[in-house]
Amino acid sequence: MATSEMTGKPPPPLRQDLVLQEQTHRGEPYVVVKDPLTSRFFRLPSLAFRVASRFDASATPEQLAEQVATEERCAMGAAEVERFADRMESLGLLDQQLTSLEIEARQRASTRQQRSIFYLKWGLVDPDRMLARLLVLLRPLFSRPAAVLTAGLVAGSLILYLARPEIVAGALWQATHGGGLIWLYAATALTLTLHELSHGLVSKRHGAEVHEMGFMLLYFMPCAYTDISNAYLVPRKRDRIAITLAGSVCDLAVWALASIALLLLRPGPTGTQILGALMLTTGYRSVALNLNPLIKLDGYYVLVDWLEMPNLRQRSQEAIRWRIGRWLGRKEQQVGETVRDRRVLESYGWLSSLYVVALLSLTVWWLDGWLVRWSGPAGRLAYLPLALLIALVWMARRKRRRMVRFSATENEDRSAAKTLLEATGVNRGESGEDRSPAAALQSTTDAVGGLERCEPLDLDQGEDR
């Protein structure tokens, strides 16, 4: 079903099943909207949400613009209201009286939209009810004394590690050779489960539901995951960061206990292998992977919430493409970002791109060594079907993008940076000069009544957590 041309027609109302949560972003009021059909999240400026709340399938864009001028005391054209309503309708946020088949089509389209060859997920279980019961039993672990104890254990283990690093190095070597590999696999399964349960428990503690846990391939590396996207609905930024850090805090606690046991108890060979495996799959994994903000794991989402820069990766890639275009002599208009945000985006974009290239190169180098070690130089022939598979997946994704999509996904390929341009009212010309929202408002007034121009209407979309 294609997006309708509204041309003065009254826009339909907001869907009644949308989940709403008021929040503050960089000091400005916003409303976070969850679409329960597609499990996608959107953030609307307060004014944009108030305008959308006036949609009732009877008021035309002209009438809505007059209501805004009267009640909000700012000027807004009917064409802008119409464009905003069309955008809302294309994202499926307005009540379009869909049939069950159309709803299923929208859900399938949303699932396809989120797939990436470097970010493949398979949901296995809905843990929400189990987590609610566990939270009652484990509530003492979320107290202040428990936090102080965990910090003390980590500090103590670091002191012991600095005193006897050779013991730790020996345990890690034993865990990665011979019979230690069995314990390494077992420890990986155990610690990943604890890590993901920690995310889920802290999410439940802050009122966010958790309905999916499963397995994923991140840049072809096997990982477990917990879908904590409902953290977008948690009002306070520090609580959202706590949800994201919960898994790594659990990892560090297990690492500290294993380190202290290894250095104080001096276990036998089997015990050393087990403790070395636990240390390797918790603390070291968290520092190298989970807390690394350059890949889309826990550290990335902590950085996103801390900087209050949603869709950081997408916007940074857009900024890098613009910068490369300028180097090549293209006269493309800079996407709407403040000077500070543009610097952050370009810095993050270059660092993350270089890191991903290095990570993939190391993966290929390791795979090459493994193939040659087990099959000789002829083992490299295995690259051919792998390269063919990647090429087929890439071509299939390109073909899907060129097909006519369901209306709910037609406009979602717009970059988050461009969306934020319209959402925040920041404009920038080719020379890169800033025009603040205040300056934009002062430069445009209504022809009748001298009202200041309303901030532009739009919204930005959240990414999976």
- Per residue in 140-153, pLDDT tens? 999 999 999 999 99
Residue range 240-249: mean pLDDT, rounded: 94
- pLDDT tens for 98-130 read 766 666 666 566 555 555 666 778 888 899 999
Confidence class for position 214, pLDDT limits 50, 70, 90: confident
Report the alpha-carbon distance of residue 255 to residue 262 in Å, rounded. 10
Task: Indicate whether 126 and 202 sit together in one domain.
Answer: yes
Residue 296 lies in a domain: yes
Would you state the pLDDT for residue 432? 34
Task: Indicate whether 139 and 260 sit together in one domain.
Answer: yes
CB atoms within 10 A of CB 403: 6
Mean pLDDT over the full length of the chain: 79
Over 60: is that where the pLDDT of 38 sits?
Answer: yes
Would you state the pLDDT for residue 454? 60
Quick one: what percent of the chain has pLDDT higher than 90?
A: 38
Would you state the pLDDT for residue 169? 92
Alpha carbon separation from 47 to 417, 424, 425, 457 (Å, rounded): 20, 11, 12, 8
The DSSP element (H or E) to which 258 belongs, if any, is helix 237-265
Confidence class for position 172, pLDDT limits 50, 70, 90: very high
- pLDDT tens for 50-102 read 999 999 989 999 999 999 888 888 888 888 899 999 989 888 899 887 766 66
Task: Indicate whether 30 and 136 sit together in one domain.
Answer: no
Overall domain count for the chain: 2
Would you state the pLDDT for residue 112? 52
The residue out of 307, 342, 361 marking a domain boundary is 307
Would you state the pLDDT for residue 401? 55
The residue out of 277, 307, 337 marking a domain boundary is 307
Residue 342 lies in a domain: no
Lowest mean pLDDT among 151-155, 205-209, 454-458: 454-458
Over 70: is that where the pLDDT of 238 sits?
Answer: yes
Residue 227 lies in a domain: yes
Would you state the pLDDT for residue 104? 67
Contact between 435 and 428 (Cβ < 8 Å): yes
Task: Indicate whether 29 and 131 sit together in one domain.
Answer: no
Report the alpha-carbon distance of residue 85 to residue 444 in Å, rounded. 22
Coil vs helix vs strand at 163: helix
Looking at the whole model, is its pTM more than 0.85? no
- pLDDT tens for 302-358 read 999 999 988 899 899 888 988 888 888 877 666 567 888 889 999 999 999 999 888
Task: Indicate whether 166 and 228 sit together in one domain.
Answer: yes
Task: Indicate whether 63 and 195 sit together in one domain.
Answer: no
- pLDDT tens for 174-199 read 999 888 889 998 998 889 889 999 99
